[in-house]
Structure 1
Amino acid sequence: MQQLENEMTLYHGSYCVVEKPDLKKCAKYKDFGQGFYLTTSKEQAKSFAKISATKAKFKGIISNNEKFAYISCFNVKDQKELNSFCFENADTSWLHCIVAHRKSGSFIEIIEKMQEFDVISGKIANDNTNATILAYMGNVFGAMGTEQSDKMCISLLLPERLKDQYCFRTEKAISKLQFIKSEKVVLE
């Protein structure tokens, strides 16, 4: 997992161009909580752009005839001014953090610990892994938080295949993102 660095290029996929991220518009119950999510993987951003456009069409936010989604590209500036936390691996701590942010009332101490960070980064638990995370939260592998259920869930997630994500959680963090450009993604 790559630590956040100055001049790092990050990508965000959406149904629209995002030049100025607005934390108030960001969904709350995501992997690392409410925030603006980016990745170093342009392919992952492209995939998210398509998913975002599909959801926006379903909700009537954009026309069903829309032919494009967008990847917005950003550079990170003055990263050292940010309080960042990086999960180096998809391990038990990472899993518990994701579940804490997705399922209200679980692993409360983690939510409290993570409040101090402007940016949290780690592997992504994306739509391909969602069923496994839901099974874990439903105690399908055993009681959530036990060694047995943690190991089972992580092994099924195939962590070596997971891409990265960077969650910019505060206005201070957002202010360190410099918009570079956007690119169209053709919807098929």
Structure 2
Amino acid sequence: MEKLILYHGTYNKIVTPTYGQGDDKHDYGRGFYLTENYDLAKEWAVCRPDDCNGWVHKFELDTEDLKILDFQQLNVLSWLAELMKHRDAADSKRYRVLAAKFIEKYGVETSEYDVIKGWRANASYFYIAKEFVRDNIDIDILEELLSLGELGIQYCIKTEKAYSRLKEIQDELSIVDYNEFNVKYNERDVRARRSMRELVDSEANKVTKVFSTLF
């Protein structure tokens, strides 16, 4: 039996993970999102510019008999296809037509999985997706781009079965100081954007195998 310790950063002191709740437009759709990285959870708890302290909730997930889809074990294009199912990287007709073809070719059927694990497409990572669909990024540097940001891996609880295996360790709830960790969140994002822009502008980015050539 394998149990994972996961953290949920939020501005809410009380959270009740409930099957069926959540936003369809989040990275992996509706679900409850957590991370194994405690420091990242702190930053995510205060990433909104509202000057309010946040909270980190600690959970234990019993993974026995759970089916977990790990996008890090798949082609990075599968992750991008999943992202495109839920979030728009552009608002043009060209994007809508090509995105549908891209999802058909590279998308993974996720409905049979209890938990989805993969990169968190916050501002910096979504910048990659936007540049990719504009044909500004070669596929050969995609995975390196995703590793530059150190912006975290998240778990999304998807099924009733997975929710039933998730238990909060309530006596380890911790408060997060907005002034300290909002600065850290923004500094991490700035560093990530700088590193990503340097790689995109480098000779390593051949701009040959780009989005519109992958069909």
| TM-score calculated relative to the size of structure 1 | 0.73
Partners of 2:140 and 2:14 in 1: how far apart?
A: 38
Larger of the two Rg values belongs to structure: 2
2:167 alignment counterpart: 178
- State the identity as a percent: 27
The count of corresponding residues between Structure 1 and Structure 2 is 165
Confirm or deny: 8 A CA contact 1:100 1:110 kept in the other structure. Answer: no
Partners of 1:110 and 1:92 in 2: how far apart?
A: 6
Which of 85, 101, 104 aligns to 2:69? It is: 85
Q: Deviations over 1:87-117 (max 9, x none)?
A: 2357222232223332486315766711111
Partners of 2:107 and 2:80 in 1: how far apart?
A: 13
2:136 alignment counterpart: 141
Question: Structure 1: any 5+ residue segments left out of the alignment?
Answer: 58-63, 143-147
1:61 alignment counterpart: none
| TM-score calculated relative to the size of structure 2 | 0.65
Confirm or deny: 8 A CA contact 2:10 2:44 kept in the other structure. Answer: yes
1:7 alignment counterpart: 3
> How far has the Cα of 1:45 moved from its partner?
0.6
Letter in 2 for 1:176: R
* 1:71-110 equivalence runs, <5 A: 71-77=56-62, 79-89=63-73, 91-103=76-88, 106=100, 107-108=103-104
Q: Deviations over 1:161-188 (max 9, x none)?
A: 3421111012221111110031100112
The 3-state SS of whatever aligns with 2:9 is: strand
Letter in 2 for 1:46: K
Letter in 1 for 2:32: F
Aligned CA-pair RMSD: 2.7
Confirm or deny: 8 A CA contact 1:101 1:111 kept in the other structure. Answer: no
Confirm or deny: 8 A CA contact 1:122 1:166 kept in the other structure. Answer: yes
Higher helix fraction (1 or 2)? 2
Partners of 1:110 and 1:80 in 2: how far apart?
A: 29
2:196 alignment counterpart: none
The 3-state SS of whatever aligns with 2:8 is: strand
> How far has the Cα of 1:19 moved from its partner?
3.9
The 3-state SS of whatever aligns with 1:174 is: helix
